[in-house]
């Protein structure tokens, strides 16, 4: 069983080498982070969601977000929008002007600034509109199209099966579904029973999402829910080795140990360097402040370093702080009695 859970699978004509997908996360899954995830075993990475209007108006910041590193294939670019015409134009741009392997439509984002424009999770209220949107996009592009959605808008409007079937009829090559409603945001528990119903109803792959925090959770999503693949999001932040642990567990049934604190610091420094290389020193350092606390979480005596990094403004200063902390941590760990 474990080896079957690790087998390659396909989205359209794109082969995905394993069953672990990294979720699109705004402000997180840029190319710098995606490459790290690939290096740790992610079968598929998905960029942070990108506005259709930003693409249409050739906003430079938006266009920069479309950068794809040759080392991150297969990868997917996710777009969002509230109108069929603009989303189709954005999809055509991604199809023709980027090297992405897959185009993903966001129909699950729960935040108000997205849903109030009739985008994101707002699509979940009408399966007919889901079909219309997906059909229009798939007809306009050559690359496989996937849809990321939630189970419903709220407890009174849970159209998970209907929306998944509508997307499938529209030509979607796979569905990624988060087991929470829009109203839940990230609170409460993901409803895997609904995901199981979706998996049984559709013929295309289901990527199960929500509360997949451990390798055992991933195995359960595949075996009990019947998902084709698992999508991990917040569990990967500052913790990309969970991807290695998960792919290894699915292939062998063996749970690898957690990395040493020094390894975490090494990956954090790599993340900083990749961000600066991708976005320049100012923006790269600014973005790193949002990520470094995840890497340092749970490591002894890291509070002072976290605070100092929040006010650091250069890559040299940040690297020195991480190096100094690594030296202090090594001394501290060496002084502790061996158990």
- Render pLDDT for 252-270 as a digit per residue (tens, 0 to 9): 999 999 998 999 999 999 9
Confidence of residue 82 (pLDDT cuts 50, 70, 90): confident
Gap between the Cα atoms of 222 and 245, Å rounded = 16
Which pair of tokens denotes residue 277? 């290389």
**175 pLDDT higher than 90:** yes
Written out in words, the top-level CATH class of the domain with range 2-252 is alpha beta
Please report which helix (H) or strand (E) contains residue 152, including its range. Answer: strand 145-152
CATH 1.10.1200 boundaries in the chain? 261-335
CATH of region 261-335 = 1.10.1200
Instruction: Please count the CA atoms within 13 angstroms of the CA of 257 that sit on its side-chain side.
Output: 4
**DSSP per residue over 216-275, as a string?**
HHHHHIIIII--SEEEE-GGGTT-THHHHHHHHHHHHS--PPPPPHHHHHHHHHHHHHHH
Residue ranges, comma separated, of all CATH 3.20.20.70 domains in the chain are 2-252
Encoded tokens for 143: 């690359």
What's this model's pTM, rounded to 2 decimal places? Answer: 0.94
**Banded pLDDT at 189 (limits 50, 70, 90):** very high
Tokens of residue 155, six digits:
């407890």
Catalytic residues: 109
């Amino acid at each position: 069983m474990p080896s079957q859970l690790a087998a390659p699978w396909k989205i359209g004509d794109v082969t995905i080498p394993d069953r672990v997908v990294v979720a699109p996360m705004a402000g997180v899954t840029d190319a710098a982070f995606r490459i790290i995830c690939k290096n740790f075993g992610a079968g598929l990475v998905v960029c942070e969601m990108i506005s259709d209007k930003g693409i249409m108006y050739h906003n430079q910041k938006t266009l920069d977000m479309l950068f794809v590193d040759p080392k991150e294939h297969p990868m997917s670019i996710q777009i969002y929008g509230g109108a069929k015409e603009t989303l189709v134009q954005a999809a055509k741009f991604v199809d023709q002007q980027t090297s992405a392997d897959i185009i993903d439509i966001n129909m699950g984002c729960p935040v108000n600034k997205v849903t109030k424009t009739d985008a994101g999770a707002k699509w979940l209220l009408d399966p007919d509109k889901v079909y219309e949107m997906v059909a229009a996009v798939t007809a306009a592009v050559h690359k496989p199209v996937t849809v990321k959605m939630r189970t419903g808008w709220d407890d009174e409007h849970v159209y998970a099966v209907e929306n998944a079937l509508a997307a499938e009829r529209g030509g979607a090559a796979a569905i990624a579904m988060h087991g929470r409603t829009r109203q839940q945001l990230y609170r409460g528990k993901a409803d895997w029973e609904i995901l199981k119903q979706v998996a049984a109803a559709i013929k295309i792959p289901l990527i199960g999402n929500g509360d997949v925090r451990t390798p055992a959770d991933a195995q359960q999503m595949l075996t009990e829910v019947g998902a084709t693949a698992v999508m991990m999001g917040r569990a990967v932040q500052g913790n990309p080795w969970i991807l290695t642990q998960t792919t290894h567990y699915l292939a062998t049934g063996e749970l690898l140990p957690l990395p040493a604190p020094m390894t975490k610091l090494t990956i954090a420094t790599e993340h900083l360097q990749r961000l600066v290389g991708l976005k320049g020193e100012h923006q790269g350092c600014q973005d790193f402040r949002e990520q470094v606390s995840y890497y340092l979480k749970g490591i002894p005596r890291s509070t002072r370093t976290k605070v100092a990094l929040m006010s650091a403004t250069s890559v040299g200063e940040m690297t020195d702080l991480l190096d100094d902390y690594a030296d202090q941590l090594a001394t501290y760990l060496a002084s502790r009695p061996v158990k």
